[in-house]
Amino acid sequence: MDNAKYENAILFFAHHVSGLGPAKLNKLLYFADFDHFEKYGEPITGDTYVNNELGPVPQHTQDMLEEMVRDKKLNVLLQPVFDYVRHSLQPTEEPNLTVFEDSEIDMLRSITSKLGAHTAKEIVSASHGEAPWLATRKGEEIPYALAYYRGKYDESESDYESEPRYEPIPVG
């Protein structure tokens, strides 16, 4: 796991996704890691993902968030909403993009563009249609190699610079 990339991916999403909470962050990290792995053979953060009823969940996000709050790189704003409290991640510093390869920055931007405006519930639903989640049982580690069964980056494509093809996420 690359802590510098992990922390800066969190800061990147927190800067570019309005009202980002931990559940949505988990899914954005999943899509960034698995899309990058499928396209380039390497994840961005290198975290281990586990099959959870809410979809693929990275194992170290909570620890990273706690450390970032402790180091004053991130604040967590608690907002009462009806019958629950929304946790909104508020960055206190800019992400350091120099820790990333160009392909990783492009992937973070692509994921933000494709999924950033969707709700956590919509992104959770999208992750449930993914081969890595479908091919594993609850509580099992999700191997990155299962990303190749998603078919977003078809080997027959001669231009690997194309955008990921996400299925539309139903609203409502």
- Is 165's pLDDT higher than 50? no
Residue 153, classed as helix, strand or coil, is: coil
Report the C-alpha dihedral over residues 25, 29, 32, 35, rounded to 10 degrees. -120
| pTM of structure | 0.84
Q: Are 7 and 123 in contact (CB under 8 A)?
A: no
How far is the C-alpha of 80 from the C-alpha of 84, rounded, in Å? 6
Q: 153: pLDDT confidence band, cut at 50, 70 and 90?
A: low
**Arithmetic mean of pLDDT, 129-144:** 92
Q: 161: pLDDT confidence band, cut at 50, 70 and 90?
A: very low
**Arithmetic mean of pLDDT, 115-134:** 88
How far is the C-alpha of 69 from the C-alpha of 60, rounded, in Å? 14
The pLDDT mean for the chain works out to 86
- Is 167's pLDDT higher than 70? no
Tokens of 25: 């962050």
